[in-house]
Amino acid sequence: MAETVIQTKQLQKEFIRDEFHVVALKDVDITISRGEFVALMGPSGSGKSTLLHLIAAMDRPSGGEILVLGENLRTLSDRAIAHWRNAHIGFVFQSFNLIPVLSAVENVELPLKLTNLKKKERMEHAETALNLVGLGDRMHHLPRQLSGGQEQRVAIARAIVTDPDLILADEPTGNLDATSAQDVLTLLSRLNKEFGKTIVMVTHDPHAAHFATKSRHLEKGELLPEGQVPVDWTVPAKA
């Protein structure tokens, strides 16, 4: 039986926005095993990004339990969570979020600065990661000198450079053209199949979801049973 990487029980997230009480997640129970590539799908406001943020410990749940890699995230301090995130999580954003003053290789090196590796070792790791995403010839380019697809591949290299157990991707193809999106999804799929990385990807693009090994849908903060899609779910038109 595959090792459980993510397990939530009755997970809830509520917050107050202006004077409104918003239920972002309602009693979500989900289990994700090592080596799975799960697409979290749902319309805007369904709570899929909120769930991803809770898995990455970027936010705290209002109720329920969340175990990620066997760690109860609700009990960890902010500092401990930061160290945990650096060691176990790789995060890919929709808008790449590279540091503009750093070159590609320096951006990839950033998470390694929090480790005990020496400068030379850090650069070797960063170069390996960039070679893996096919940007070995763009190491010293600044983000503004790269295309959107290349920027996202640098972001993926940054996410995998610490060899994390879990890669979380929030709409990784949302800002890309079709060709670049295909490249990025292929890369994520390769990381899952060849390197056994567990990936959770938030997307509303069914085409992107095809690259995942499993899709789960959320609607109004609730996780639908496996295989079920929202009643009014319509496939968004492809760009």
Partner 1 sequence: MFRYVSLIVKNSLRNRRRSILTIGSIAVSLCILGVLIAMYRAMFQGMPTEAQALRLVCRNRVSLTQPIPIYFRDKIQRIPGVHDVMAWQWFGGVYKDSRDPNNMFPRFGVEPDHLFNVNTEFQLPDDQKLAFKNLRTGCVISRALADKLHFNLGDRITLVGDIFPVTLELKVVGIFNEPSNVDILYFNREYLREALPVDSSQRDTVGAFLIQADSPADVPRVAEAVDREFEATPFQTKSESEKAFTLSFLAFLGNLKLFIMAIFGAVTFTILLVSGNTISMSVRERIREVGILKTLGFTPGAILGIVLGESAVISIIGGAIGCLFAAGMCSMIAHSPGSMFMPALKTLGITPLVGLLSLGVALAIGVLSSFVPAWNASRTSILEALRFSG
And the tokens for 146? Answer: 């790269």
Q: Length of the chain in residues, anyone?
A: 239
Which of 2, 9, 29, 82: binder of partner 1 (CB under 8 A)?
A: 82
The answer to whether residue 106 forms part of the interface with partner 1 (CB under 8 A) is yes
Write down the least CB distance from residue 118 to partner 1, Å.
10
Geometric angle at alpha carbon 118, from 112 and 120, rounded to 5°? 95
**Sign of the torsion angle spanned by Cα atoms 152, 167, 1, 223:** negative
**Interface region with partner 1, contact rule CB under 8 A, candidates 22-30, 64-72, 75-83, 175-183:** 75-83
Residues 121-160 that bind partner 1 (CB under 8 A): 158
The answer to whether residue 110 forms part of the interface with partner 1 (CB under 8 A) is yes
Q: Which of 100, 225 has the CB closer to partner 1?
A: 100
CA atoms within 13 A on the CB side of 211: 25
Which of 13, 26, 85, 216: binder of partner 1 (CB under 8 A)?
A: 85
Write down the least CB distance from residue 83 to partner 1, Å.
6
Question: Strand (E) positions, the chain?
Answer: 4-17, 20-33, 37-41, 63-68, 71-72, 89-92, 166-170, 198-202, 214-219, 222-223
d(C-alpha 162, C-alpha 211), whole Å: 23
3-class SS of residue 24: strand
63: CB partners within 8 A, 6+ apart? 10, 11, 12, 14
Write down the least CB distance from residue 167 to partner 1, Å.
13
46, 229 contact by CB (below 8 A): no
Q: Which of 67, 87 has the CB closer to partner 1?
A: 87
The answer to whether residue 21 forms part of the interface with partner 1 (CB under 8 A) is no
Which of 17, 21, 79, 238: binder of partner 1 (CB under 8 A)?
A: 79
**Interface region with partner 1, contact rule CB under 8 A, candidates 100-108, 174-182, 200-208, 221-229:** 100-108
Report the interface residues with partner 1, using CB under 8 A: 53, 56, 58-59, 78-79, 82-83, 85-87, 91, 93, 97, 99-102, 106, 110-111, 113-114, 119, 158
